[in-house]
Amino acid sequence: MLLLQAPPPHAAAAAPAALPTRRYGFADAVLGETLAEWRASRPVRAKAPCVSAAGDPVVMVCRGVDVELGGGYSARELSYAFVEGRLARISFRTSIDGFAYVTAALKKTSGAPDRIVRDSLGPAGRPHVSMTWRNGRSTIFLSDPTADAVNLTVRFTLDALAERIPKAG
């Protein structure tokens, strides 16, 4: 005979799962860090140009130097967007031929993607894939290829500040 027991009347509800402590980042830059921490993490960043985004004084966008991804491919057009002094977005482009290097690195540091969507782009129906990683605080989004058909993009975003970042950033 199977007996089912009700929980004691004073039993507390299960606590919600804690958010992961590992923060997403790229090339020693970590979402949520301050502009001063970002500049201090690599000497070359101390001289990185930063400008106000879309005339908004609380949003600064800094440009970074190319970062080697492996296989001769580099993260290009690195952009670091800061909102109220906190790193809210990291984005870059690279060749579509570097896809395997980028996805291997993301899987190594962030695990398997939470979502993979395969579809097509443009009138020619060019194959396209997007991957999304989420950890409860941040999101990583990869799109391969971009509209130019020769690049892919990767964007790391701090979810709490995502709405404050200009779309172009």
DSSP letters for the chain: -----PPPTTPPPPPPPPPPSPPPEETTEETT-BHHHHHHHSGGGGG--EEEETTEEEEEEEE---EEEETTEEEEEEEEEEETTEEEEEEEEEEGGGHHHHHHHHHHHH-S-SEEEEEEETTTTEEEEEEEEE-SSEEEEEEES-TTSSEEEEEEEEGGGGGGS-TT-
- Per-domain residue ranges of the chain: 27-164
Confidence of residue 9 (pLDDT cuts 50, 70, 90): very low
pLDDT of res. 166? 79
How large is the average pLDDT for residues 7-34?
A: 64
Res 12 pLDDT > 70: no
pTM of the model: 0.82
pLDDT of residue 130 exceeding 80: yes
Instruction: Read off the pLDDT band of 21 (50, 70, 90).
Output: low
Is the pLDDT at 20 greater than 80? The verdict is: no
- In this predicted model, what pLDDT tens digit does every residue of 38-54 receive, in sequence order? 999 888 887 888 998 87
